[in-house]
Chain A
Amino acid sequence: MPKKARDRSCKDNRNCFIPKLKTFQRGLGFFVMQQPIVIDDRKSDLSKEVLLHSGQDASLCFQCGKCTAGCPVAFAMDLTPNQIMRMVQLGLIDDVLNSQTIRLCAYCSTCSVRCPRNIGVADVMDSLRIMAAERNIPGTDRSRKVNIFNQAFLDTLNMFGRSHAVLVSLLFNLRSCQPFHNAKLGLKMFNNGKIKLKPDRIKGVNEVKEIFQRINRLKKGA
């Protein structure tokens, strides 16, 4: 190749069709394409916050989609795991924290062991759930129910030092306004002698309460 031609970049070459094509595409995109994603600088440290919480670097994700392919709950999610990863990279914090996906994730970690970039995707989901809890985002529909269940579980644990299935279910049913939810399961378990009505209160229940209180104080202080 002659030296002159090599030095001249494609952009300077008036005969080259590629820059023209790109300009055309951009122009076309203005009318046809979906709404542009606005990346707000203030919000784009989502990736860093996830890293701080979980030790996982979401920016490594290159969208191969293996996490979604192996995810057993993906069929019920509103955003697939790989979409969540991309949105974390883009800093779309409101969309991510309000999605059903982060709380529907069952932490089975299939994604984490299959990720070719060694990202603990399940840990990323976990940290997103924690961030949503910190911001008091109740979630909607399915994710709201998961949140209510988790809270009911922790409440009984705080009360007795151990969780109590009957009370957790009762609290869940009351707080989610579905009084007869899972009644059939409860009845079957009762018939099979697998239900104990009296909760198990441990001697060191105050130690457990203290754990909850100290952590609450830490959170408030932070």
Chain B
Amino acid sequence: MKVAYYPGCEYETNAKDYEASAKIVCKNIGVDLVEIPDWSCCGSTAAHSTDHLLAVSLAARNLALVEKIGFDTVTASCSACYQRLALAQAELAQDKKLLEQVNEITGYDYKATVKVSSILEIIAGVDEENIKAKVTKSMENFRIAPYYGCLLVRPSKVKIDDPENPTIMDRILQTTGAQVVDWSHKTECCGASLSVSNNDIVTAMVSRIIKAANAADANCIVTACALCHLNLDYYQSFVTQTKGALKETPIFYFTQILGLAMGFSKKEMGVEYNITDTAELVKKVV
């Protein structure tokens, strides 16, 4: 299966481990990710907070590029990029007038035919037996709190699963033999859009999520979003070090867990890039 791939601006920095592990895992299960040539930023929170037309146009340029290279599906690993592309697509497909106006702004002749899928949906779409066949190691020592965040499951127009209790990632993780815990903060927002400007608010939001994962007796949190990963990984050090009440909880990408289970090395999966200590838990892959 060939899918157009939108890496997102953090693909070489904060999310380089996500990017690397996603590419390796997808290749291994027969999904070929083809990068969109000369893609541009989706606009993220900044664009949709400033101007609606700007947000749609910035996303539309990338969707038009996907159409141009002849693909009907595009996937993004970052869930913020996914949400922006999917929301723009939903609006453009519905509103012909808006589509015309946006085409005038971008200078492309986009026909709104592209389907936007998150990378979770792409991997979940692969036959479960196919994934199980590739799993060579057992992750039974991992007690995972699957963390979806907000961007993948809300708003309703672009949700990939239930907005309150999604299970799509749970099912993927269970194929590796890992224990997936039931917990309260699966879809609570981590406050990523405030993490540069108001980090004290973010620290409070992150501490609640880590606390909930601790309460559910999870030994790691697994996410499918580059922004959630950075936020949970970094800001928890403020609460685990100062208050001492919270346990340091390593944060992984779901593709890293899949890759480790498929026998790829921790270097290939980029787990050493984490700020929290992952080494101890990774040793428990058997």
Contact = CB atoms under 8 A, between A and B. Distances in A.
Interface of A: 53, 72-73, 75-76, 103-104, 106-110, 112-113, 120, 122-123, 126-127, 129-130, 133, 142, 145-146, 148-151, 153-154, 157, 161-165, 168-169, 172, 176, 182, 185, 188-189, 192-196, 200, 202-204, 207-208, 210-212, 214-215, 218-219
B52 A53 contact: yes
B191 A113 contact: no
Contacts of B192: 106
B155 A120 contact: yes
B50 A193 contact: no
18 contacts: A76-B201, A104-B194, A110-B150, A110-B187, A129-B49, A129-B50, A146-B193, A146-B194, A149-B197, A154-B46, A157-B43, A163-B41, A165-B14, A168-B196, A196-B12, A207-B107, A215-B53, A215-B54
B198 A104 contact: yes
A168 B195 CA distance: 12
B46 A211 contact: no
Given A208-B61, A211-B54, A162 B9 contact: yes
Interface residues of B, number: 55
Nearest to A129: B49
A169 B113 CA distance: 36
Contacts, number: 172
Nearest to A212: B54
Given A106-B189, A215-B51, 7 more contacts: A109-B154, A113-B154, A151-B46, A154-B47, A157-B41, A165-B9, A202-B38
A10 to B, nearest CB: 46
B193 to A, nearest CB: 5
B9 A108 contact: no
Contacts of A150: 45-46, 49-50
Contacts of A189: 13-14, 234, 275
B12 to A, nearest CB: 5
A172 B46 CA distance: 13
A196 B41 contact: no
Given A162-B9, A193-B273, A218 B155 contact: no
Contacts of A154: 46-47, 50
B255 interface: no
A133 B105 contact: no
B175 interface: no
B7 to A, nearest CB: 10
A212 to B, nearest CB: 7
Contact of B13 (A76, A108, A195): A195
A219 B14 CA distance: 35
A182 B58 contact: no
Given A150-B45, A203-B38, A207-B61, A108 B107 contact: no
Interface string B23-43: 000000000000000111101
